[in-house]
Amino acid sequence: MDRGQIVLAPFPYSDLRGMKRRPACVVSASSYNEGPDVIVAMVTSSGTRLHDPGMGDVTINDWRAAGLRRPSVVRTGRLLVLERRLLTALLGSLAPDDVEAVDRALLTVFGLR
């Protein structure tokens, strides 16, 4: 599993009262992903996020190549650590420019620049 891949993942609602299987972007390093866990960021096609992205939100420019059905945003502030076995499908991969934008957003979200 590689950084920038788009997978289907069980993402809990923020109130933890349920979950939804949704696209997620792998953000952990390939070497980390060789272990049992993977770190993913939520992907959403919410119109609100597309038109008014928040801190850490990255609009995916090449969303079709990423295997997504509609324009979408990677929410780098909504991360989840999951066992690899819970990721049920590989949808596609982000374009290099989109991966770089996600990297910059992660640095911003964590206050590393």
Q: What angle do CA 75, 81, 84 make, to 5 degrees?
A: 115
Q: pTM higher than 0.75 for the full model?
A: yes
Radius of gyration in angstroms for the set of CA atoms belonging to the chain, rounded to a whole number:
13
The DSSP 8-state label assigned to residue 50 in this structure reads: H
For 5-109, give the CATH class: mainly beta
Domain ranges of the chain: 5-109
Query: What integer best gives the mean pLDDT of the chain?
Result: 93
Whose structure tokens read 């939100």? 57
Q: What's the rounded mean pLDDT across residues 44-53?
A: 82
CA distances from 110 to 9, 74, 91, 105, 106 (A): 23, 15, 27, 9, 6
> What stretch of H or E contains 41?
strand 37-44
Residues in the chain: 113
